[in-house]
Amino acid sequence: MNPLAAIGRIFLGFLSGAGRIALFAATAVSHCVRPPFYPSLVMRQMMDIGYFSLPVVGLTALFTGMVLALQSYTGFARFQAEGAVATVVVLSMTRELGPVIAGLMVAGRIGASMAAEIGTMRVTEQIDALVTLSTNPFKYLVVPRIVAAVAMLPLLVLVADIIGVLGGYLVAVYKLNFNMSAYLKQTVDYLQVMDVVSGLVKASVFGFLIAMLGCFHGYNSGGGAQGVGRATTNSVVSSSIMILVLDYMLTELFFSTR
């Protein structure tokens, strides 16, 4: 076996995969703006993605905020800079950890279920059945999920930001004996609108990625239970990786000039 041929094959496979995902995304977006629309399906997805993800996202955000306060305190205490804890917590939460943590949690919870549900529909010919009943599967299955995810992720992240800051506050005030009002003042003083907005924009992008990749892997699921299992795994792994990669790229885009 020629090793160069093997490398070439892997590279071509990667390129064709990327191309197929890009085509899928373009098709999905083009269907987002053309009727018919299914508002009731969008609402149902919004409930699932937004409301029912609240406990998971809230809990992870709470503990992330708490550990952030604890860790930055131990670090800053060595330079007698404990006063910076509040600022570090709020900036890390809004700019970075809120969107990333909510994104990863939703990728695991929602991306996986989208891939499994649509994959099962593919395997049991339900997607073919949609077509024979004059219903476009992109409009009926993919668009509601993408629209709902793009809309709900920023709201989830906003909640995560608030809960994360609360977690940091609890640890700082009740464990590290910070002054309550001083901590709150510190939190607000150095926070800029852009810090929060950039996090929310990231969240929307992550929402699009999670729903699009979940639907893509489900839609192209292979046969049988194994195919659906692989689709689920691929959707979680690929969206988690893409979230971290895009997180860096978006941060670069927003803040590189400063």
Partner 1 sequence: MDAPPKIAISGLRKAFGPKKVLDGVELSVAKGDSLVVIGGSGTGKSVLLKTILGLIRPDAGSIRIDGEETIGMDASARECANARFGMLFQGAALFDSLSVWENVAFGLVQGRGMARDEARRRAIENLAAVGLRPEVGDLSPAELSGGMKKRVGLARAIATRPEIIFFDEPTTGLDPIMSDVINDLIVACTRDLGATTVSITHDMQSARKIATHVAMLHGGRIIWTGPISEIDRSGSAHVEQFIHGRAEGPIQMQVRA
Residue 190 near partner 1 by CB under 8 A: no
Among 71, 113, 135, 251, binds partner 1 (CB under 8 A): 135
* Among residues 37, 63, 76, 140, the one that binds partner 1 under rule CB under 8 A: 140
Q: Which stretch binds partner 1 (CB under 8 A): 61-69, 118-126, 170-178, 212-220?
A: 118-126
Question: Which of 143, 138, 156, 133 minimizes the C-alpha distance to 53?
Answer: 156
77 touches partner 1 (CB under 8 A)? no
The CA distance from 39 to 169, in Å, is 40
With CB under 8 A as the contact rule, the residue among 71, 126, 204, 251 that binds partner 1 is 126
* 124 belongs to the binding site for partner 1 (CB under 8 A): yes
Q: Is 47 in the site for partner 1 (CB under 8 A)?
A: no
Interface residue with partner 1, options 132, 177, 181, 257 (CB under 8 A): 132
When the beta carbons of 141 and 196 are compared against partner 1, the nearer one is 141
Interface with partner 1, residue 71, by CB under 8 A: no
* Residues contributing to the site for partner 1 (CB under 8 A): 121, 124-126, 128-129, 131-136, 140
